[in-house]
Amino acid sequence: MELKRVVVTGLGALTPIGNNIEEYWNGLVNGVSGAAPITHFDASKFKTRFACEVKNFDVRDFIDRKEARKMDKFSQYAMVASDEAINDANFDLENIDKDRVGVIWGAGIGGLETFQNECINFANGDGTPRFNPFFIPKMIADIAPGQISIKYGFRGPNFATVSACASSSNAIIDALNYIRLGYSDVMVTGGSEAAVAIAGMGGFNALQALSTRNDDPATASRPFDKDRDGFVLGEGAGALILEEYEHAIARGAKIYAEVGGGGLSADAHHITAPHPEGLGARNVMLNCLRDANMKPEDIDAINMHGTSTPLGDIAESKAILEVFGEHAYNLNINSTKSMTGHLLGAAGAIEAIASILAIKNGIVPPTINHSTSDDQIDSKLNFTFNKAQKRDVKVAMSNTFGFGGHNACVLFKKFE
């Protein structure tokens, strides 16, 4: 069957470096670090005492206080980002066929802070089971797309994707497929996460996954640098409106980019470590190129998973060299996690947005905080270190890889 074309007609973001799309993009191109000492809780006894938190955010500016209390932060973030994207898409919400509009949303963990707090409250009590009646609805990962659909009355496909740090890229790929197979006209997609909490920081510290550069948080996320020592935990949300091409044209929608394709793969190697030779990363990029019917030489830029972990950055760089060969040296590759930190299940969404805006604006955001080359990473690759670079980006890829060996890659191309 002939697949329908799918375009991006709305964007929304709530990130550690900007609370809307305009602020987020300005933060990216100016190389702003979102890392700072933790304010959400007392982290003084933790090995890592900093994170990339959402800043200057008061949920009451966006959601009624009574309703907000029924939501974990990850759902609040989802509502704010999706509202911006839906408004940006400028739908006629009174007349759109809501049976043909769905919501597919990614979250790697969901309501972690809610779960944590309910357990703490029970442990500190007298043993009587007193739990918040909204405990379960606040916690479950699928509640975010449910909340979005309830607010707008969207009755199309509605579910959550959970694949650790690949979750929102999976959501975007599923949304793409539902539209191009003809099941929906419009999809609200993306992801959110709010793991900067006692349990999140403690858990990732126990894994020895986080940077402990407490004396200089702003430079702690340093992908591909010899002195990287782990990722910086982030939080927030990103939302995209995907729309069938003819549907978008018929209503005169503005179009940011076209979604060319998506790829998925598994490392089948280890629960937390990447395949040392980047086998899963190689396969997911090849699968994405095949799905988009494109060749390696067609790609201009890649927003890498690039978490700033010792093993991951090496494996992904090897995979790019294997997939792209000599053309790898013509690419602009970068890691926006150097600025935003790692948003876990929301990473794919905000990084897809960064790729789309790189296409739209002809600018590749930098990989900041680089000072010392790692001799295990090919220094001839253009990692867009420390300063944004102008480039006519016609096609961009976005990589996300998750614990459990889950890999997802999404391809966007300039709309013509």
* CATH at residue 70: 3.40.47.10
Given 52, 165, 288, 409, which residue is catalytic?
165
What pLDDT, on a 0 to 100 scale, did the predictor assign at position 34? 98
Residue 120's H or E segment, with its range, is helix 112-123
- In this prediction, the residues of the chain whose per-residue pLDDT falls under 50 are none
Do residue 113 and residue 211 come from a single domain? yes
Catalytic member of 247, 275, 342, 406:
342
Q: Based on the residue annotation, tell me whether 342 is a catalytic residue of this protein.
A: yes
- Based on the residue annotation, tell me whether 40 is a catalytic residue of this protein: no
Q: What pLDDT is stored for residue 416 in this prediction? A: 87
Distances (CA, A) of 166 to 10, 141, 306, 318: 21, 14, 13, 20
The tokens for 409 are: 């890659």
Residue 316 lies in a domain: yes
- Domain end point (choices 250, 282, 299): 250
Q: What is the pLDDT of residue 17?
A: 98
SS3 percent helix, strand, coil of the chain, rounded to 5, is 35, 20, 40
CA angle, residues 306, 307, 312, in degrees to nearest 5: 75
178 plus 307 within the same structural domain: no
233 shares a domain with 282: no
CB contact at 8 A, 345 and 106: yes
User: In this structure, is the dihedral angle defined by the CA atoms of residues 137, 139, 144 and 146, taken in order, positive or negative?
Assistant: negative
As for how many domains the chain has, the answer is 2
Amino acid letter for position 176: L
DSSP 141-182: TTHHHHHHHHHHT--S-EEEE-BTBTHHHHHHHHHHHHHHTT
Closest listed residue to residue 351, CA positions, set 308, 305, 393: 305
Say whether both 265 and 225 belong to one domain: no
Rounded to whole angstroms, the Cα distance separating 75 from 4 reads: 31
346 DSSP β-pair partners: none
User: What is the distance between the alpha carbons of residues 355 and 357, in angstroms, rounded to a whole number?
Assistant: 5
Verify that 239 and 277 share a domain, yes or no: no
Residue 409 CA to chain centroid, in angstroms?
A: 12
- The answer to whether the beta carbons of residues 193 and 163 sit under 8 Å apart is no
Pairing of strands 101-106, 186-193: parallel
Q: Is residue 92 part of a domain?
A: yes
Whether residues 244 and 265 share a domain: the answer is no
Range of the domain at 126: 7-250
pTM for this model (two decimals): 0.98
Give every CB contact of residue 227 below 8 A, 6+ residues apart in sequence. 371, 372
265 and 246 together in one domain: no
Which of the residues 305, 370, 406, 409 is marked catalytic? 305
Same domain, 267 and 173: no
- Class of residue 300 by CB neighbours under 10 A (exposed 0-12, middle 13-18, buried 19+): buried
Same domain, 199 and 60: yes
Residue 193 has a pLDDT of 98
Beta strand segments in 79-155, E: 101-106
Query: Does 291 lie in the same domain as 169?
Result: no
Please tell me whether residues 222 and 287 are part of one structural domain: no
Last residue of a domain, one of 250, 276, 298: 250
- The answer to whether residue 119 is catalytic is no
